[in-house]
Amino acid sequence: MKINFKFIILPIVILFLISFSFILIFNILNNRNIEKKIIIGLDINVPPMGFKSENGEIIGFDIDLANEVFKNDYEKVIFQPIDWDSKEFELNGNKINVIWNGLSETPDRKESMLLTNPYLKNRQVILVRKNSEISLLEDLKNKIICVQKSSTGADALAEHKISGEIKQTVELEDMVNCLNEVETGKSDATVVDEVVAKYYLNKLGEDKFKILNQELSSEFYVIAVKKGNYKLKEFIEQKLDEIYKSGKASEISKKWFGQDIFYWQNESSNKNSSKKSFNFLIPMLDGLKQTLLLFIIILVLSMPLGLLLFCLQKLKFGIIIKYFINLMRGTPLLLQLLFIFYGIPYLPFVGEFLAIKSRFLAGILTFVLNYSAYFAEIFRGGFLSINKGQYEAAKLLGIGKFKLFFKILLPQAMKICMPSICNESVTLIKDTSLIFAIGIQELLSNTKNIVNSTANIMPYIISFGIYLIICSIIVFIFKKLETKFKF
């Protein structure tokens, strides 16, 4: 049958033109309305500055303050949750207009963004359990300290002399997880903004946590706009000055903190004015080591376990194995990771005994269980592809089941499965980046930290190349292995 490509290509071209026209019209209408809305980027896990209420509404001190600033001059104020690690790129890429969410003033941020005058004064403090023996900064020696990733608290701890004497620093995505770490005893302490710490103490009760009197550092909260956008910066400062003088800022502050902590001055603080030099290759190499170690251990353990799971499906209790495989394949790997490390301790009766305190062990266990389920299905597909006549022939020839499986069937199945195993291995090297969720710093996590600290996109490019090289090596190795199964 001869195919007339005109009837295939013409509809595609027409569809493309229609889609392009719709996008063009949308952009024109959107640009006409650009002055009528303001998009504010924020991390919605920072109570009381900005967070989601029980009914899903974004609320907080900064939210009320921003609404008061923009209410008369903009028809719509949009609060857009963002990845805090990528805030500079969100702003400089015109995805958002403002960053307003307990943003601390630092030299790096002065270089990459345009910052307003400070509106809050803050301290970085240490939060511990109420019954903790830790009462001074010196007591943090040989302790595990949790920090929010890419936060000024993490920077303050790294720059303090005590950082060289602590046992381990754990970096997590948000402060809620850090508090959970301290509450469950996985970490001995956490570094937190004082204003945030006071909110949590008021919310959760002072019987759970206490704040050490000593501080790691003091800082100022500012608002950020895109570099060069002096018009918006001056507008925000003018409005803040007005609501400060009217007493509205004091009213909002008392609503969230029970006291007036609003801070306003004419000139930005010059604290921390010295620019840090940062050699990003060292942390990237450390992250690469962690990524490769995870990959090798998980692959070595999950493949044999996957083969074992496939074999166990043939037994009487095989239905249990099938349910397990469906569970592993039917739920997100990240959710499994969070449940095994954070959720198990909360299980009634058995949680205390099954809890895994080692982050690395919890990560390995989760990945091995998840990938073994996928490998079990890959092996099942491989064995199903083998001609059933071979089973009958082996039986007639008197070949035992053990010899039949390992000498005849398994080599054939491995050859069939090899492309799929290669694909899973490539996926695995990329999936190892998910382990950042429980505080293990691998290649991508360290790269994001560096980019956030330096506002330099080069580490992303280097990381891109590293992952590409590793995946290419994996594909090359499996191609060579495929040639070994020629029969």
Q: Which residue has the tokens 């292995």?
A: 481
Structure tokens at 411: 């080599």
Residue 454's pLDDT is 67
Question: What is the pTM (predicted TM-score) of this model?
Answer: 0.60
- Asked if 46 contacts 196 with a C-beta cutoff of 8 angstroms, the reply is yes
> What pLDDT does residue 29 have?
53
Give the model's pLDDT for residue 363: 93
The string of DSSP letters for 144-157 reads: EEEEETTSHHHHHH
pLDDT 10s digits, 77-133: 999 998 877 788 888 888 899 999 888 888 888 888 999 999 998 889 999 998 899
Instruction: Express each pLDDT in 287-310 by its tens digit.
Output: 999 999 999 999 999 999 999 999
| Per-residue pLDDT, 128 | 93
Tell me which residue has tokens 């505080």.
Answer: 439
Query: How high is the pLDDT of residue 350?
Result: 82
How far is residue 311's CA from residue 317's CA, in Å, rounded to a whole number?
Answer: 11
Bridge partner residues of 222 (DSSP): 103
Task: Choose among 406, 380, 458, 453: nearest CA to 151.
Answer: 453
Q: Distance between CA atoms of 228 and 233, rounded to whole angstroms?
A: 9
What is residue 386's predicted lDDT score, i.e. its pLDDT?
80
Angle between helices 410-431 and 359-384 (to 10 degrees): 140
Using CA atoms, how far residue 304 sits from 237, 300, 379, 384, 412, in Å, is 63, 7, 10, 18, 16
- 3-state DSSP assignment of residue 142: coil
Cα–Cα distance, 331 to 340 (Å, whole number): 13
Burial class (CB in 10 A: 0-12, 13-18, 19+), 403: exposed
* pLDDT < 50 positions in the chain: 1-8, 32-34, 267-278
Rounded CA gap, 253 and 249, in Å? 6
Distance CA 170, CA 179 (A): 12
* Residue from 329, 183, 207, 201 nearest 257 by CA: 201
Give me 22's structure tokens: 């719709």
Instruction: Assess contact for 192 and 124: CB atoms under 8 A.
Output: yes
Supply angle C-alpha 270, 148, 271, rounded to 5.
5
Question: What is the rounded CA–CA span in Å between residue 440 and residue 436?
Answer: 5
What pLDDT was estimated at residue 116?
94
Q: Say which residue the tokens 């029969």 belong to.
A: 487
User: How many whole angstroms from its chain centre is CA 460?
Assistant: 15
